[in-house]
Amino acid sequence: MNCSILCQLLNKDCKDNSLIHSLDELWKKSYDEGRFHLLNGIIYNRKKYTYVVTVVDRSLINLVLKECHDSPFSGHLSEDITSQKVKTCIWCPMWQKDVAQYCKTCDRCQKENKSTGKRLGNMIKIKEPSKPWEILHMDCVTGLPPGGDRSYNAFLVIVDRFSQATIFLPFHKDYTAMDKALLIWNRVVTKLSFSTAYHPQTDGLAERIMQTLEDMVRRVCAYGLEFKDCDGFTHDWCTLIPELKVAYKTSIHASTNQTPAILEKGWDPKLPQYSLREDLV
């Protein structure tokens, strides 16, 4: 998390009446029984699960939402996914309403959102895989501004159907079929060490995932070649691919109720916003 944001969250004087009422609960109940805990002058909200989150003044919720929705590590994803990220790092009264309002009024999301209505035609039913990287889905995203040291203007997305983990491969849209095949062979097949022939295919699930990933990239470079983050640094879309990949892999999917990182690796990487609860995890 941005250091200036973290400092504001931890140093802000509490002026929210709901939080002041929460302080009263601290003195009435022990840590084992109570909902709130005071440590080093910071209030923590103890969830029913294993994690503990920082209680913040509601006036600071927008700072947290910028980190959990706008940053490349968050990828301008949906309201539900943003809520999942927020609830694992902070708590304040009525935070769900703040998340809903923030996502509905996000300028980039509103401009880049596309219709997801049903398409005509029959889909091919694809068997379900029994392990990661057994069945892959592929698609290309084109029409992007030049990015990276080789001025790439498109990227290939490869999705594992089992875990929904992704691989992003920048390329030029004028690549031939052979060029793309060599790219996949050198960057995917040889690294994942497939033991049998794999069959890239597509269906409705793959198309929806591709649309989500395409929207993420377009939102961070929606206003030109360079993306400027909250620290004032500029990046082109190609250099942001690692962060966008993390944003996607650490977001819970409705179809699996897990993150792709959990299904593929068994654990989620540590995100910047988790530094808020580092002392108690």
Digitized pLDDT (tens) for each residue of the chain, 281 residues in all: 444 444 444 445 455 555 555 555 554 554 555 566 666 656 666 665 545 556 666 677 778 888 888 877 787 888 888 888 887 777 777 788 888 888 888 877 777 666 555 554 545 566 778 888 888 888 887 877 787 778 888 888 888 888 888 888 888 888 888 888 888 888 777 665 554 444 555 556 667 777 787 777 777 665 444 555 555 555 577 777 888 888 888 888 877 888 888 888 888 877 776 665 554 44
Q: In this structure, are strands 90-91 and 52-55 parallel, antiparallel, or unpaired?
A: parallel
Q: What is the CATH number for 51?
A: 1.10.340.70
Q: What is the CATH number for 244?
A: 3.30.420.10
- Please tell me whether residues 88 and 153 are part of one structural domain: no
pLDDT for 5 equals 45
- Please tell me whether residues 108 and 164 are part of one structural domain: no
* Cα–Cα distance, 251 to 80 (Å, whole number): 10
Core vs surface per residue 165-198: b (16+ CB within 10 A) or e: bbbbbbbeeebeeeeeeeebeeebeeeeeeeeee
- Please tell me whether residues 66 and 25 are part of one structural domain: yes
Q: Is residue 118 part of a domain?
A: no
Cβ 57 vs Cβ 91: under 8 Å: no
* Cα–Cα distance, 272 to 252 (Å, whole number): 17
- Please tell me whether residues 97 and 183 are part of one structural domain: no
Q: Is residue 126 part of a domain?
A: no
Q: Is residue 85 part of a domain?
A: yes
CA dihedral of 73, 158, 130, 117, whole degrees rounded to 10: 80
Burial of 249 (0-12, 13-18, 19+ CB in 10 A): buried
CA dihedral sign, ordered 200, 188, 259, 68: negative
pLDDT for 208 equals 75
Helix (H), strand (E) counts: the chain: 11, 9
- Please tell me whether residues 28 and 83 are part of one structural domain: yes
Q: Is residue 121 part of a domain?
A: no
Q: Is residue 60 part of a domain?
A: yes
- Whose CA is closest to 124, among 199, 194, 177? 199
Q: Is residue 207 part of a domain?
A: yes
DSSP-H helix ranges across 193-259? 204-220, 241-249
Q: Helix, strand, or coil here: 95?
A: helix
pLDDT for 230 equals 53
* Domain coverage including residue 80: 3-112+269-277
* Cα–Cα distance, 30 to 25 (Å, whole number): 9
Q: Is residue 235 part of a domain?
A: yes
Domain total of the chain: 2
pLDDT for 225 equals 45
Q: Is residue 124 part of a domain?
A: no
- Please tell me whether residues 17 and 105 are part of one structural domain: yes
pLDDT for 252 equals 85
